[in-house]
């Protein structure tokens, strides 16, 4: 699951939705912040709570543990040219 933060949804995405997705067994939760241009990844622990797996920015690669082979530099989520480059790599 991925959420894109906005000023009006930021508290909800990090609060109610965060807890709700964990309670329903969503294994991986990504929070994309277009202002800070960061990607935060959380993984569901055996206790049913999310644990931070990393916060990525720029060329640092965000990787999914749930979707095998899915990885992209954080910048690709916010920059059209970087997105196209990352997409081409994923499709090879």
Q: How many domains does the chain have?
A: 1
**Which domain range does residue 24 map to?**
2-91
**Tens digits of residue pLDDT in 1-12:** 999 999 998 889
CATH number at residue 20: 3.90.1570.10
pLDDT grade, residue 92 (50/70/90)?
confident
DSSP string, the chain: -EEE--TTTHHHHHTHHHHHHHHTT--EEEEEETTTTEEEEEEE-TTS-EEEEEEEETTPEEE-SSSTT-EEEGGGGT-HHHHHHHHHHHH-
Average pLDDT, the chain: 94
pTM of the model: 0.91
**Tens digits of residue pLDDT in 25-83:** 999 999 999 999 999 999 999 999 999 999 999 999 999 999 998 999 999 999 999 99
Q: Is the pLDDT of residue 24 over 90?
A: yes
């Amino acid at each position: 699951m991925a959420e894109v933060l906005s000023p009006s949804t930021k508290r909800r995405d990090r609060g109610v939705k965060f807890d709700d997705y964990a309670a329903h067994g969503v294994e991986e939760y990504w929070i994309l912040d277009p202002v800070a241009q960061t990607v935060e990844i959380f993984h569901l622990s055996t206790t049913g709570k999310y644990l931070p797996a990393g916060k990525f920015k720029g060329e640092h690669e965000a990787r999914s543990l749930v979707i095998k082979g899915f990885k992209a530099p954080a910048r690709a989520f916010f920059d059209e040219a970087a997105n196209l480059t990352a997409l081409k790599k994923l499709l090879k």
